[in-house]
Amino acid sequence: MLATLVAIALVVQDQAPLRAAPQDSAPRQATLWQGEWLEVRGEKQGFIQVYDHGRERPGYVREHQVRIYRLDEASVPKLQAVVEFLKDTPGAEALGIGYAAALLRAAPASQVGPELFDALGTLADRLARRATSNRTNDVALAAHLDVAASYGVKLVSFEREGRTRVCYDGEAFRRVLALGGSPEARLRAALSLTRPECIDPALNPVARQALDEWRGSVLEQVDGGRLPAYLANRLHLRRAEVYAALSFQLSRRGEAQRGAKASARAVEELARVLKAELTEEDKPAYSMAAVRVGASRHASEPMPEKPGSGPVLELAQGQPGETCLRLVDAKDPKAPLSERCTYGLVWPGSVRRSAQGSAVAVAVQMLEGWTELWVFHQEGGAWVLDALAPAATEPVLGYVELAGFSPDGSRVLVAREALVDGKVKSSFQVLKRETLLPEKSAGSPDALGSFQRWSSSDWRGRTVAVR
Amino acid sequence: MNEQKQNEEKQGEEKQSEPRQDEPRRGEVLARMLSLAGEAARGMVSRVRWLIYAERGRRVMTGLAVTGVVAGVVVAQPVCMIEPGEVGIRVNRLTGNVSELHEGWSLLVPQVHRLSRYSLKDQTYSPTRSARATDPAPFQSVEGLSIGVEVNIRYVLDPARIQTLAARLPENVGRDIIEPAIDGVLRRHFAQHTVREIFSTQRVQIQKDISAELAPLLAADGVLVRSVTLGNVDLPQQYRTGMEALLAEELNAEKMRYTLELKDKQVKQSALEAEADKVRREKAAEAAGNEEVIAAKARAEAMRHVLPFKEKEIEQRRLEAEAAKVSRLTLATAEAEAHRIEAAGEADARRKLAESDAYRVEVTGKAASEQLARDAELITRNPLLIQKTLADKLSDKIQVIIAPPQAGGFIAGNLLGQPQGASSSQAVASSATSTQEE
C-alpha cells in the first residue's frame, strides 16, 4: 500500500482533527496524532484532502497540522534533517518514528546506514522509557504507542517489582550492530539490547543463561578503546554485570572453568571503570555492578591450601543440585563435627579458618546476586552453623563476605553490601563469634579501628566492597 | 556354408578329369625322353671311365665326394636343439622307439629319426573370425542374431601325457584339435542364450559353463584349460541401440528403486532424528525444570536464612531500645534529682538573699530615717539649706532660672508639700527623690 503512495502527509500535531468536509465546523471523523501518515489526494480551501489508510476513511486536515513529502530521493535530505533534529527531542518520539519510517521508504538502499537505525532505536527506546515512567499527565502516550506500533516498532512489557515495565525489543539496534556505525552508536545499541531491567523475569535458568551468553557476545562487539572514558565506563559496568551473572550460571551447570573465567572477567571489567569519570547517573549502576561482582567473585578464587590439623570442610554431592558440607576434624575424618546440605553454590575457594581453628567460614551463593557467609563455630563445645545473610530484605541483590578474624578468634569481621529500598547499602561489621551479632558497625572500614587492624590482607586484596 | 562345400567338390572332380585328355601327348614325350636318357647314359659311362682311370678324374671325384659329404652333413643337420619351454618327441622310424627330449642338444639321425616339438608354455586362443558381428564367422544367439564376442582361452599341454599323446595327436595340436573343439563349444553355448543374457545378465554364468565344459573335453586330449575370458560383445548396431535404450530404461527403473529406497531411508532417518530431538528436548526441558526447581529451592533457602537474621535484628533493636530506655530513665532520674537539689539550693540561696536584703533594708532604713531626722533638724534650723542643696545638685548643664512663683509659691514648693504648679517643679522633685535614693 505504502509503495503506491506518491505523496504523504505526516501529522505533526497531536489531536489534529480529521474533518468530513473542508470546514472547521464540519464533524470530526477521527483524531490524529503526531507521526501518523496520510495519503494526500488534493487541496481544498486551505485543507488537505487525505485518505487515512489506518482507519480506512477519507477526510480533510488543516494545512498547518501536516507536512507533505514525496516519497522519492528528492525528499531524503529534508527528512534526514528532521529525523536528526527529532532524535533528541523529548516527547516527539512518535513523530520521529514516523519521519524515520518515511525516510526508510524514500531513501535508496545505499543511503540507509546505521545512523538511521540508531535514530529509530533511540526514539523507540525513549518512548519505552516514557511509557515506563508513571507520569499521569501524559495523555498522548497511549496514542503515541499506537503510532509506533503501526510502524512495526515492537514494545514489550513485563511486570517487575510490582509495576509494568515497557521495553523496546531492539530490532533497530540489532541492525546498527550489523551495519557498523560509530562507536557511540554501537555502544548505545549494545547497552539498550543488554539492559538488565528488560529481561523477562519469567525466563527459566537455561534460557537465562543462553540470553546472558548472547548479551556477552553483543557487548563484545563494541570497542571500548575508541569511546570517551565516561561512555567506556558504562560498557565496562554492563560487561561486569553480565559476566558476573554468567559466572554463577556456568558454575551452577558444572562448567567450573568457564565460570571461573567469567568471574575473573567480571572483576577485571569492574576494575577498568574509571571512578573519576563516572557520571552522576552511573553511580548507582556502579554500586549495583560492584555488588553483583562481589557476589560471584568467589568463583575465580584459587583453592586454599589444606590446613594440617583442625577442622576441615569437605564438600560432597547430595540430591541433584544439592551440595553437602561436612565439617570434620582432620585427625578423625569419619565423625563429622557438623553437616548441612544446601541448594546454593558453595565456593570451595572461599573457605577460611580462624587461627585457633574455632571458626570456619565459607561463601555460599544462593542466587545469581545473593551470596551468604556460612560460619561454623563452636558454641559450648559443639559446632553450630550460622548463615549470615547480606541484609534482612527479600533475597535479590547482596553479598556478605568474611574480612578476617580477630587475633584471639573471638570476633569475626564481615563486609555486607545489599540493595535495600533501591539503594546499595554497605556496612563493615565486627561480630562476636559466639552469637554472630554485630558488636560494631560502620559505613566504611576506616571508621572502625578494630576492623582496619584485623581485616586480612587476603580480603583487602580481593574485595570489591572497598572501591 | 553348404554352397561352399558343393563348389569345392566340383573343383575336385574337374581336377581328376584333366589327365585322361592328355594321355596320347604324354606317350610322345616319353619316347623322346627315353632316347635322350640313352644318350645321357652313354655320355655318363664315358665320363665315369674318365673319372676312374684318369689321375685328374680321380682327384675331381675325391673333391666331389668330400664336398658331397660336407654338404650332406650341412643339409641333413643330424643334431637338433630343444628350446626352453619345449619338449621334443623323437620317434625312431626303424625301431618304433619313442623318446622324450628336453631342452638342450640331441642327436637326430636323418631319415631314421623324426622329431616333433611341443610347446609347454601357456598358449592362448582367440577366435579372430568371430570377434565382431560383421566378421566372417560370427556367433549366433538363440534369437538368430549375429554377434561378435571377444573370447580368450588360455590352455597348456599336459607335460606328463605328451609322450603318449604324441603318437596319436597331430603335429599342430592347437590348430587341429583345440581350436575346433573350443569353437564348437562356444557356438553351442552362445546359441543357447539370448543376446541380453550374453550382453549383460548371464555373462558370468556363460563363462563358467564354457569353462566347465571345455576343461573335461580337452583334458581327454592332454590339454589343460587354464581360463576362459569373455571380452567385448559386439551387437548389430541397430540392436545395440535398442538394447542400450532398454538397459537405460532398466537403469532408470533401478535408479528409481534406489531413489525410493533412499527416500524411505531418509524418512526413517528424519523420524529417528525427530525422535532423538524430541528426547533431547524432553531432556532439556527436564533439565530446565530441574534447574528451575533448584533455583527456587535455593531462593527459599536464602529466604529462610534471612528470617532469623531479621529476627535477630529485631531482637537486637528491642534490646537496644530497652537499654536506651533504661539509660534514659536513669538519666531522667538523675536530672530530676539534680533539679531538685538545684531548686533546694536556689531556694536556700534566695532565702538567704532575702534575709540579707531585709537586714540590709532594715539597716539602711534605720540609717536613712536617722539621716532624715538629722536633715529635718538641720533644715528646721536652716530653711535656706534646701535651696542651696537643690542648687548644688542641679548640675551646670541645666540652667535654672529661679523665678518668682506665679501662684506665689516657692520654686520647690511640691517638695515641701506645697500645691504644685509647673512640671519643672515636678522634675526637680523627682531628681530630688533619686538623689535621696542614691
Q: Which pLDDT tens digit goes with each residue over A61-85?
A: 999 999 999 988 889 999 999 999 9
CB under 8 Å to A354, separation ≥6 — which residues?
A: A360, A405, A409, A412, A433
Amino acid at A391: A
What gap in Å lies between CA B363 and CA A341, rounded to an integer?
96
Cross-chain Cβ contact B302/A395 below 8 Å: yes
> Could you please report the per-residue DSSP string of A375-413?
EEEEETTEEEEEEEPS-SS-SSSEEEEEEEE-TTSSEEE
Residue A1 pLDDT class (50, 70, 90 cuts): very low
pLDDT for the residue B312: 81
Residue B250 has pLDDT above 70, yes or no: yes
Give percent of chain B with pLDDT exceeding 90: 21
Contact B89, B166 (CB under 8 A): yes
ipTM of the complex: 0.76
Mean pLDDT confidence for A387-395: 89
Cross-chain Cβ contact B295/A205 below 8 Å: yes
What gap in Å lies between CA B137 and CA B1, rounded to an integer?
11
Mutate to test the interface with A, among B280, B281, B286, B291 (most CBs of A within 10 A): B291
Per-residue HEC secondary structure of chain B comes to CHHHHHHHHHHHHHHHHHHHHHHHHHHHHHHHHHHHHHHHHHHHHHHHHHHHHCHHHHHHHHHHHHHHHHHHHHHHCCEEEECCCEEEEEEECCCCCEEEECCEEEECCCCCEEEEEEECCCEEECCHHHCCCCCCCCEECCCCCEEEEEEEEEEEECHHHHHHHHCCCCCCHHHHHHHHHHHHHHHHHHHCCCHHHHHHHCHHHHHHHHHHHHHHHHHCCCEEEEEEEEEEEECCHHHHHHHHHHHHHHHHHHHHHHHHHHHHHHHHHHHHHHHHHHHHHHHHHHHHHHHHHHHHHHHHHHHHHHHHHHHHHHHHHHHHHHHHHHHHHHHHHHHHHHHHHHHHHHHHHHHHHHHHHHHHHHHHHHHHHHHHHHHHHHHHHCCHHHHHHHHHHCCCCCCCCCCCCCCCCCCCCCCCCCCCCCHHHHHHHHHHHHHHHC
Matching residue, cell 531411508? B265
Residue B102 has pLDDT above 60, yes or no: yes
Which has the closest alpha carbon to B194: B147, B241, B259, B136? B147
What gap in Å lies between CA B109 and CA B80, rounded to an integer?
10
pLDDT for the residue B7: 59
Residue A198 has pLDDT above 60, yes or no: yes
| A310-356 tens-digit pLDDT | 788 888 888 888 899 999 887 777 888 888 999 999 999 999 988 88
Give percent of chain B with pLDDT exceeding 70: 84
Residue B198 pLDDT class (50, 70, 90 cuts): confident
Distances (CA, A) of A368 to A136, A249, A252, A463, B158: 35, 7, 10, 18, 94
Mean pLDDT confidence for B313-317: 84
pLDDT for the residue B110: 78
Cross-chain Cβ contact A320/B290 below 8 Å: yes
pLDDT for the residue B265: 94
| A79-133 tens-digit pLDDT | 999 999 999 998 899 999 999 999 998 999 888 889 999 999 999 999 999 998 8
CB atoms within 10 A of CB B4: 8
Exposure string of A259-268, with b = 16+ CB inside 10 Å and e = fewer, is bbbbbbbbbe
**Residue of chain B whose alpha carbon sits nearest to that of A392:** B310
Cross-chain Cβ contact A321/B291 below 8 Å: yes
Q: Does B316 touch chain A (CB under 8 A)?
A: yes
CB atoms within 10 A of CB A416: 21
Mean pLDDT confidence for B190-199: 84
pLDDT for the residue A434: 86
Residue B418 has pLDDT above 70, yes or no: no
Residue B397 has pLDDT above 80, yes or no: no
Q: Which run of H or E residues covers position A458?
A: helix A457-462
**Residue of chain B whose alpha carbon sits nearest to that of A385:** B305
| A233-270 tens-digit pLDDT | 999 999 999 999 999 999 988 888 999 999 999 999 99
B242 or B339, greater pLDDT: B339
Q: Which run of H or E residues covers position A257?
A: helix A256-271
Cross-chain Cβ contact B291/A206 below 8 Å: yes
Q: Which run of H or E residues covers position A414?
A: strand A411-420
pLDDT for the residue A31: 93
Quote the minimal CA–CA distance from A150 to chain B in Å: 36
- Go through chain A and tell me how many residues it has: 467
Residue B116 pLDDT class (50, 70, 90 cuts): confident
B308 contacts in chain A (CB < 8 Å): 387
Residue B120 has pLDDT above 90, yes or no: no
Q: What average pLDDT is seen over chain A?
A: 90
pLDDT for the residue B400: 58
Grid coordinates representing A140 are: 498522548
A-B Cβ pairs (cutoff 8 Å, strict): 69
Cross-chain Cβ contact B312/A370 below 8 Å: no
Q: Does B434 touch chain A (CB under 8 A)?
A: no
pLDDT for the residue A292: 94
Q: Does A385 touch chain B (CB under 8 A)?
A: no
Residue B350 has pLDDT above 60, yes or no: yes
Among A196-205, B102-111, B211-220, the range scoring the smallest mean pLDDT is: B102-111
Degrees (nearest 5) of the Cα angle B120, B124, B129? 145
Distance of CA A376 to the CA centre of its chain: 35
pLDDT for the residue B351: 93
Residue B82 pLDDT class (50, 70, 90 cuts): confident
Name the residue facing A206 among B288, B306, B312 (closest C-beta): B288
Which has the closest alpha carbon to A18: A68, A63, A62? A62
Cross-chain Cβ contact A252/B293 below 8 Å: no
Residue B18 has pLDDT above 80, yes or no: no
pLDDT for the residue A334: 80
Among A45-49, A435-439, B41-45, the range scoring the smallest mean pLDDT is: A435-439
| B150-175 tens-digit pLDDT | 888 888 888 888 777 777 777 777 78
Contact B149, B233 (CB under 8 A): yes
| B271-308 tens-digit pLDDT | 999 999 999 888 888 888 888 888 888 888 888 888 88
pLDDT for the residue B437: 43
A88 or B21, greater pLDDT: A88
Sheet holding A28-32, edge to edge: A28-32, A16-19, A57-62, A47-52, A37-44, A7-11, A66-70
B139 or A4, greater pLDDT: B139
Amino acid at A394: E
What gap in Å lies between CA A14 and CA A25, rounded to an integer?
19
A149 or A2, greater pLDDT: A149
Residue B189 has pLDDT above 60, yes or no: yes
Q: What average pLDDT is seen over chain B?
A: 81
Q: What is the pTM of this model?
A: 0.60
A418 or B26, greater pLDDT: A418
Quote the minimal CA–CA distance from B296 to chain A in Å: 9
Give percent of chain A with pLDDT exceeding 70: 98
Residue B434 pLDDT class (50, 70, 90 cuts): very low
Quote the minimal CA–CA distance from A395 to chain B in Å: 6
Q: Does A320 touch chain B (CB under 8 A)?
A: yes
| A413-434 tens-digit pLDDT | 999 999 998 899 999 999 998 8
pLDDT for the residue A64: 93
Residue A3 pLDDT class (50, 70, 90 cuts): very low
| B125-153 tens-digit pLDDT | 888 888 888 888 888 888 888 888 888 88
- Go through chain B and tell me how many residues it has: 438
Contact A102, A71 (CB under 8 A): yes
pLDDT for the residue A286: 94
Residue B421 pLDDT class (50, 70, 90 cuts): very low
pLDDT for the residue B50: 86
Cross-chain Cβ contact B298/A205 below 8 Å: no
Mean pLDDT confidence for B333-356: 93
Mutate to test the interface with B, among A200, A203, A204, A374 (most CBs of B within 10 A): A204
Mean pLDDT confidence for B387-399: 72
pLDDT for the residue B386: 80
Residue B196 has pLDDT above 80, yes or no: no
